[in-house]
Amino acid sequence: MKKTLIILLAFFFLIGMSLNLYSQQAAKPELRKEIVQVKYLTADRAERLLRPYLTRVMPGGLFGQIQELPERNAIIIEDTPEVVEKLLSMLKELDVKPFDLQFTADVILGSLGTSLGTTGDELKELMSDPVIRELNSLLKYKSFKRLDTSIIKVQDNTRAYQRIGGGGMSLQLGIRPRFIKEEKADAFLVELDLSQSKGLTSEGKERTSNLLSTTLSLKSGERTVVGVSKLDGGDEALILILSGKIIK
């Protein structure tokens, strides 16, 4: 009798262990793994965008993972099938070709005191510009001269540099725009730097002086004065006017 009881206890113990193991295995969720080639984003950028949406804790101590493959610009996503499907859908919307943008930069030299040698026709043309007229009413410049008009083509959220200037002045414009979709009008958030070349050092390196450094919001198709920078403390100043649009 005692032996039979021991056998029964051992039998039920084994059944309990089996059921516990089965329940643990049953509780483990099914995982899906996908290797995704990223086209326009970088692998690390894609990983940073998607990581917050991974499953943090699953039964069985599992969790969602994203691994970068930088040499292939790809990522490996591993999570539940539902989450992986959601992340693939998100990546499809995020990994798109950036907009091609075009900006027009007008560099105007203004003077509070001295004439800049602008002819009557040139001055008439400049004063017909509503932006210049408004600027003149605020700052009372007596003379204007257009130094340069430059077209800068750049992709959304990337930085471009371009040499601009005129009248013996060498300038470099650095621009990094970010397209913003708005209800009433498309717009750009633009990081911009304008510097002037001051020649070369004794080591042959270029010396530069920063004239403007700003971030501004600009509506598509709108011309706006980015800034006014006085030159060497005199009566003359550089005026930078910028407009931008999406290239269709």
The alpha carbon of residue 23 and the mean position of all alpha carbons in its chain are separated, in whole angstroms, by 49
Q: Rounded to a whole number, what is the distance in angstroms from the first to the last CA of the chain?
A: 91
| % residues pLDDT > 90 (the chain) | 49
Query: Is 162 domain-assigned?
Result: yes
- CA 87 vs. chain centroid, Å, equals 21
CA proximity to 144, closest of 11, 236, 30, 22: 236
The chain-wide mean pLDDT, for the chain, equals 84
Tell me, yes or no, whether 43 and 156 share the same domain: no
Q: Is residue 10 part of a domain?
A: no
Distance separating alpha carbons of residues 129 and 109, to the nearest angstrom: 14
Question: Is the same domain home to 205 and 237?
Answer: yes
Domain boundary (78, 97, 116) is at 97
Question: Residues 136-165: what's their mean pLDDT?
Answer: 88
Q: Which whole number is the average pLDDT over 112-140?
A: 78
Residue 119, classified by CB atoms within 10 Å of its CB into exposed (0-12), middle (13-18) or buried (19+), is: exposed
Q: Reply yes or no on whether the pLDDT at 111 is more than 50.
A: yes
Q: What is the pLDDT of residue 27?
A: 59
> Which residue, of 44, 71, 97, is where some domain finishes?
97
Whether 225 is covered by a domain: the verdict is yes
* pLDDT in the model for residue 85: 96
Q: What is the largest CA-CA distance in the chain?
A: 124
Confidence of residue 15 (pLDDT cuts 50, 70, 90): low
Quote the CA–CA distance of 230 and 111 in Å, as a whole number. 10
Q: For residue 154, give every residue at least 6 positions away whose Cβ sits within 8 Å of its Cβ, in sequence order, or none.
A: 101, 102, 103, 160, 175, 176, 177
* Domain assignment present for 42: yes
Task: Taking each helix axis as running N to C, give the angle between helix 130-139 and helix 120-127, from 0 to 180 degrees, rounded to the nearest 10.
Answer: 90
80 neighbors 56 (Cβ within 8 angstroms): no
Position 201 confidence tier, pLDDT thresholds 50, 70, 90? confident
Average of per-residue pLDDT across 192-196: 93
CATH number of domain containing 41: 3.30.1370.120
Q: Which residues pair with 104 in a beta bridge?
A: 151, 243
> Tokens representing 237?
């100043």
pLDDT score recorded for residue 126: 82
Whether residue 170 lies inside any domain: the answer is yes
| 89: in domain | yes
- Residue 12, pLDDT > 50, answer no
What secondary structure letter does DSSP report for 121?
H
- Quick one: 182 and 83 in the same domain? no
CA gap 203, 198 in Å, rounded: 14
Dist CA 213 CA 176 (whole Å):
12
pLDDT of residue 21: 46
Domain of 143, in residue numbers? 100-246
pLDDT for the residue 244: 94
Same domain, 76 and 111: no
Helical H segments across the chain, by residue range = 2-27, 43-50, 81-94, 120-127, 130-139
pLDDT over threshold 60, residue 6: no
Asked if 237 and 130 sit in the same domain, the reply is: yes
Are 91 and 142 members of one domain? no
Q: Is residue 1 part of a domain?
A: no
Task: Determine the pLDDT at residue 121.
Answer: 80
Q: Which segment of 49-53, 112-116, 123-127 scores lowest on mean pLDDT?
A: 112-116
Q: Give the range among 32-36, 45-49, 100-104, 203-207 with minimum mean pLDDT.
A: 203-207
Instruction: Let me know if residue 2 belongs to a domain.
Output: no
pTM score, two decimals?
A: 0.70
Predicted pLDDT of residue 71? 93
